[in-house]
Amino acid sequence: MAFSFRRTRPTGSREEFWTQLEQELGQPILASTLGRYIEGRDATGPLWGLIYITQDTLYFRHFAQSNWFSSMMSTDGEEGTVRNRNVTFEVPFQNVETVVPPIPRRGILRILQSPDRVFRLRSHTPGSADDFVFSVEGALEPFTQELQAAVGRLH
């Protein structure tokens, strides 16, 4: 039995996606990367998605995963339902007290382990001790610079 694979045509270009998103937000996106939400909101992590920064907010956007593998791996609990729907988290920089950047590996660990790319945004919102924890999978340096600059502008 022979299988044939058809390429589906993309519904829009990458540039169109980012332009439309900037129009929805009403401000330019300063940096973006692929990343993972780990913890800090009502959803159970990890979730893969896009992380992008505007002048005053960090966004994490997870897109619904609807393929045969993800449906087999999901459960009936909240973890399965979150993975199968679009989720967007917003972290306003005015609520962020500090940014804890990844700690560089030293010595032999630098060779044996992959670099740590986990960020923690420490919150100072009254009555809330929630940190927003995420990891970056793309280029680390430009993203880190924009993140630090955005938080620094508001403090």
Cα–Cα distances (Å) from 111 to 101, 105, 136, in that order, read 20, 9, 19
The reported pTM is: 0.75
Read off the pLDDT of each residue in 32-43 and give the average, rounded to a whole number: 88
Read off the pLDDT of each residue in 67-86 and give the average, rounded to a whole number: 58
pLDDT band for position 126 (cuts 50, 70, 90): low
In the block, residue with structure tokens 């609990």: 77
On the 0-12 / 13-18 / 19+ scale of CB atoms within 10 A, 83 is: buried
Cα 155 from Cα 134, distance rounded (Å): 22
User: Which CATH class name applies to 28-153?
Assistant: mainly beta
pLDDT band for position 142 (cuts 50, 70, 90): confident
- Judge contact between 31 and 52, C-beta under 8 A: yes
Mean pLDDT, rounded, of the chain: 77
pLDDT for position 1? 44
